[in-house]
Structures are given as structure tokens and as C-alpha cells.
Amino acid sequence: MKKNRLGTSDLIVGEIGLGCMSLGTDESQVIPLLHEALDLGINFLDTADIYDNGHNEELIGKAIKGRRSDVIIASKVGNTRVEGQDGLVWNPSKAHIMEAIKESLRRLQTDYIDLYQLHGGTLDDNIDETIEAFAQLKREGLIREYGISSIRPNVIREYVDRSHIVSVMSQYSILDRRPEEEVLPLLTQKGISSIVRGAVASGALADGREDKAQKGYLDISGEEVISLRQQLEPLTQANRSLSQTAIQYVLAHPAVAVLAAGASSSQQLRENVEAASSPALTDDELQMIRSIRAANQYTQHR
């Protein structure tokens, strides 16, 4: 599997990673799946402190025992639950971040996190305080690098300009090309890496998932998604499937270092890894995809 550097850091990641949110909570299934991921060459595991109320981190911690040096662990912070209150409460304060990492380290059974990411962000936050928290954690050796997970260009710009982030995690696919407008060019210019999620658009661009396509995606109708799938068929009839086409599309951008692809089964895991070795899209094929109207539809909405 091709390896990429995250930004200008020392973190080297395989271009296909594992987004761990969809793993589930059954330890007897999750641990073997994580072991299989590592055996297949996946070294980037993306989680968050709120996934399954921290249980996701605990399962990763159990799975990587004896293999810590083989893994780049990425986790996230910023959301919290308040007793007696429904939903999540946004808290990017330094005090919260400095406490939250202690629990993440305990659950992950490690003394450092490779990439610690702010799990969101708004312009109303005390951004300087948030940055100072991450900078202090790096000085103390509790994290190796930090980044942000966000789809908001205005927030991303602030962190690009004011901090030393090495990565930005964003949703990006043929059906959601918003990052191409501003975010990806900015990251390319600044030497910051993109971590992609959602390359197959919640299944709308997955092989054999016409049912997902018919439901539409974001504000794109099911009819338009089906039409786009049909227009992509010339790219999938030879030696590349629809899912592989969708994955190769996002990997083609120079800012993208790794796709954090979700998987809840061995088959999905292997399909994701196989996509990395499928034929890369040519410049003509990339241009053809970009010319499809539905592919550009969602770029008009923020």
C-alpha cells in the first residue's frame, strides 16, 4: 500500500486507513477485525472519545497490545456529555482537552496519541486557548501532532493561519466536492494533509447499493445519484469497480494523505484495501467525472 506523510510531520500513513466509528461494540468481532486490518497493511486507525461512549477507544487499546509501534492512532476531542442533558455539548476549552486526553490514553492503553484532532469547531470558540492546549500536549509528549476535523472553511482557515496543524479531516466524495473549492487548494498550498471520510457517500457510490443511491445523498435526489452512477459505468466496466472509482477519485487529489474508510466486516475491510491497488484514474477520467452535473451539484451549498 502506498504510504504518505501527514503534512510535514514524521507520521507516515498508508493511504487506506480504518475509520473505527462503525466497528460496533462486540469485542469478539471487533478485535479480530482490527487485527486483520493491521495484517492487511492498514496502520492508520481513526477514533474519537465519544464513539460508543469511549468503548471504541477501549477496543482499539486491547487490539494493539504488542503492536503499538505499528499503528498511527488518531483520536478526537471537543464533544462531551453532561449528566441529565440530552445530546452532546461542545467544549473546546483547554481545561476539557487537558482532562479528556487522560481518559483517552487510559482507554487506549498507551502513553501517547499520534494525532489528536479537534472534533469540530466554530468561530465563536476561544481558538487561541484551544491551540494552546494542543501545543502544550505536544510539548509534554502526550501527542505527536494535532489537527482538526471540520467541514467549515472559515474555521479551517483560522487553524491553518494560527496553528501548527498537520491535517484536516473532512467529508469528500464525487457527490460532495465542497473541499475542492477552497479547503483542498489551501491545504496543498500550506503543506497540510487532508484526511478523507465518506468517499463512497454513505453507500450511494458503493457497488450493489442501488438502494442507498435511490435515497439520494445530501440534497442530491435519488434520481440524480442513479444517473451519476450510470454515467460512471464506462470507468467501471474494465478493471475498476464503482467503489474503487469513488475511492480513487479522492485519493487522486495531491492534498489527500489517507482515506479513513469505515468497515464493519472482513469483506468491507478487504474491499477498501483492494481499492488502493486498483488502477488510478487518468487525467481524462478525472475530468470526465468533474464534468458530470450531479457531481458538482452539492458544491453550491455550504
pLDDT tens per residue across span 158-197:
999 999 999 999 999 999 999 999 999 999 999 999 999 9
Q: Let me know: does 131 contact 162? Beta carbons within 8 Å.
A: yes
Confidence of residue 238 (pLDDT cuts 50, 70, 90): low
DSSP-derived 3-state class of residue 232:
coil
- The reported pLDDT for the residue numbered 83 is 75
Model confidence at 258: pLDDT above 60: yes
Model confidence at 123: pLDDT above 50: yes
Integer-rounded Cα Rg, in Å, for the chain is 19
Question: What average pLDDT does the segment 236-260 reach?
Answer: 92
- The reported pLDDT for the residue numbered 296 is 47
- The reported pLDDT for the residue numbered 81 is 81
The 10s digit of each residue's pLDDT in 197-232 is 999 999 999 988 899 999 999 999 999 999 999 999
- The reported pLDDT for the residue numbered 87 is 83
Letter string b/e over residues 12-24, b meaning 16 or more CB atoms within 10 A of that residue's CB: ebbbbbbbbbebb
The 10s digit of each residue's pLDDT in 62-110 is 999 999 999 999 999 999 887 777 788 899 999 999 999 999 999 999 9
Place of cell 501532532: 145
User: Catalytic amino acids?
Assistant: 51
The structure's pTM equals 0.93
Question: What average pLDDT does the segment 243-254 reach?
Answer: 96
- According to DSSP, residue 282 is labeled P
Question: What average pLDDT does the segment 104-121 reach?
Answer: 97
Model confidence at 300: pLDDT above 70: no
- pLDDT above 90 covers what percent of the chain? 86
Of 264, 135, 248, which is closest to residue 196 (Cα–Cα)? 248
Q: Please state the φ and ψ torsions of residue 81, each to the nearest 5 degrees.
A: -110, 135
- The reported pLDDT for the residue numbered 234 is 86
Model confidence at 292: pLDDT above 90: no
Cell numbers of 39, please? 495484517
The 10s digit of each residue's pLDDT in 9-24 is 999 999 999 999 999 9
Model confidence at 298: pLDDT above 60: no
Cell numbers of 212, please? 442507498
- The reported pLDDT for the residue numbered 184 is 97
Model confidence at 268: pLDDT above 50: yes
Question: What average pLDDT does the segment 38-60 reach?
Answer: 95
- The reported pLDDT for the residue numbered 88 is 87
Confidence of residue 301 (pLDDT cuts 50, 70, 90): very low
How far is the C-alpha of 154 from the C-alpha of 214, rounded, in Å? 32
Model confidence at 302: pLDDT above 80: no
CA distances from 92 to 99, 107, 126, 268, 279 (A): 11, 20, 8, 34, 41
- The reported pLDDT for the residue numbered 231 is 92
Q: Write out 69-120 in H/E/C secondary structure.
A: HHCEEEEEECEECCCCCCCCEECCCHHHHHHHHHHHHHHHCCCCEEEEEECC
CA distances from 236 to 14, 214, 220 (A): 24, 19, 22
Of 168, 165, 131, which is closest to residue 153 (Cα–Cα)? 168
